Amino acid sequence: MNVTLEAEGLNVKLVTEWLLLTMAITNAFVRVLNSSARHRILSTHNVLKARQFSVSPLYKVVTSPQHLFAYGANDEVTRLAASRRRPLTLADLLKHGRPPLSKDALLASANFTLSLLPARLASRIEALRNLPFIVVSNPHVSKIYNNYLHSLSTLLPYQQRQVTTLEAEKHFAEVLADLVHTHTNTIPVLARGFLECRRYIDSAEVTRFLDTHLRARIGTRLIAEQHLALHFASQPVTDDGRPPKSTAPSNYIGVIDTALQPARIVKLCEDFVGEICELKYGVRPRLTIGGQPDATFAHVPVHVEYILTELLKNAFRAVVESGNEREPIEVTIAAAPDVPSNHVLGPCSPSLGTQPHQPDSDVGFERDSVAGTADANESIKHSSPSTQSITIRIRDRGGGIPPEILPNIWSYSFTTFSDLDLQGSENGNMDALNAMSSSSGHLSSIAGLGYGLPLSRAYAEYFGGSIAVQSLWGWGTDVYLTLQGVGKVG
């Protein structure tokens, strides 16, 4: 009996010691794992932190001792994005005179450009930060974010000391050229990023963000390209301030053609689209120009060319696919008559259903509802309400737009983009004309995204114009493009 009890006591003791040993080993293993996990987390954090500080040129520029900023990149971006900005007018872009510019005028143009761009870039950075984290983490969206950081960091040193010499202006022009080149493919890269993140973000939010971003991008590029055009048209400028002698009169002031003839742009776009159409379909619809083909006004030719190319692509495609290629596409050009200014509604008139102008914004219409952006739905404010206006009607017999599609023609169809399949997509957005014209330039690099009409409308509305579509299902479509010019330029 005593032997049995001693044996049972020994077994209990062994089991207890085994359990205690097991618990000790388990606790030690858990501590090792926790320590390893903490080490990995800290290491990852340190790597990311080091990468952030080493990769982001903005941090190095902003926090360097030679600058006045001591609060880090985030605070500087926030401060610039929230800064007050007066409205931009087309007259501002023309105020430095016709090139070639004198030394003083060229420096004034550089400093005027410098006063506008940093806040605009910061506003775009802030808008990207307001997207869901998983979207900003996408490599394509992150690339655009870093591009904006890089561009802002290169401009800040100039903003601190201003451009006071021709040598500094030359370097500043090189920085602007790099900025324009860096952001050439912003739209297709963003579109790819949103495509990959479409399950994490609502399509309405994407449309709203893209509409805001594309309009802001128009203004940013316009400001930069305007000074670059003035810079190259004014070389060489001597230190005594004398500009080079102009060899021939020019209608151009920077990128603005003060005597732009829409009929000439229509013919250029007709040739381009017609060749693509003939190569793909074997037929080339006819196009007739009526109304006032000799009408001229002041505008940006590259913008007008992009809009007309997109509209003519739609018309050519419609008439060919409907079998009505023998019916001509009719283009009618009409210049608005001169009307006393007190009888003309300005772009911000309440009767047009727009909001009154905001004094702390650089937009001509309503402010954006997205936090951190002040240049959404952006439009250049006109210096006078009696500026020139030209309306172009494009009429085709392509069968019209199906009623179920008509409500969606202004939406950004970002889900159809694929660089692996340029020959077709399920909803037809990647049509032959888009695919073949995608190599014609940076404005056509969005071919197949479904951005043609909404981006065209953004370009038109940015200058106070509009695009209206009237479709007669089973017959054809009329598109009314109204372009607002700058008025008479001396």
**pLDDT tens digits for 395-408?**
999 999 999 888 88
The per-residue pLDDT for range 111-162, each reduced to its tens digit, is 999 999 999 999 999 999 999 999 999 999 999 999 999 999 999 988 878 8
Please name the helix (run of DSSP H) or strand (run of DSSP E) that holds residue 470, with its range, or none: strand 466-472
Q: pLDDT tens-digit profile of 343-362?
A: 433 333 333 333 333 333 33
222 and 263 co-located in one domain = no
**Do residues 443 and 477 share a domain?**
yes
> Residue 199 to residues 25, 134, 204, 451: CA-CA distances in angstroms?
45, 11, 12, 20
CATH number, position 206: 1.20.140.20
Calpha distance 61→342 (Å, rounded) = 50
Lowest mean pLDDT among 1-15, 205-219, 467-481: 1-15
Cβ neighbours for 52, distance < 8 A, ≥ 6 positions apart: 59
Strands (E) located in 279-380: 287-291, 297-299, 329-335
Instruction: Answer yes or no: do 179 and 88 share one domain.
Output: yes
Domain-located, residue 353: no
Query: Residue 250 pLDDT > 90, yes or no?
Result: no
Task: Give the residue-averaged pLDDT of 193-203.
Answer: 86
Pair (167, 269) in one structural domain: no
Single-letter code of the amino acid located at 480: Y
> By 3-state DSSP, what share of the chain in percent is helix, strand and coil, each rounded to 5?
55, 10, 35
Residues 191 and 291 in one domain: no
Give the residue carrying structure tokens 């902003």: 62
Last residue of a domain, one of 176, 201, 233: 233
Asked if the structure places residue 241 within a domain, the reply is no
Residues of the domain holding 168: 73-233
Q: Residue 446: give its domain's CATH number.
A: 3.30.565.10
pLDDT band at 194 (very low <50, low <70, confident <90, very high): confident
Which residue did the predictor score with more confidence, 15 or 411? 411
CB 319 within 8 A of CB 330: no
| Contact status, residue 66 vs residue 207, Cβ threshold 8 Å | no
Residue 88's pLDDT band (boundaries 50, 70, 90)? confident
Indicate if 220 and 272 belong to the same structural domain: no
Q: Are residues 419 and 318 in the same domain?
A: yes
CB of 231 closer than 8 Å to CB of 106 = yes
Which residue, 185, 200, 233, sits at the end of a domain? 233
Average pLDDT, the chain: 74
pLDDT given for residue 485 in this prediction:
82
State both tokens at 273: 């689209």
pLDDT, average across residues 367-392: 54
Shortest CA distance to 282 belongs to which of 316, 328, 329, 315? 316
- Residues 288 and 146 both lie in one domain: no
What is the structure's pLDDT at 86? 67
pLDDT per position as a tens digit, 430-466: 344 444 444 344 344 444 456 788 889 989 998 889 9
Q: How many folded domains does the chain comprise?
A: 2
Domain contains 54: no
Residue type at position 226: Q
Same-domain check for residues 448 and 335: yes
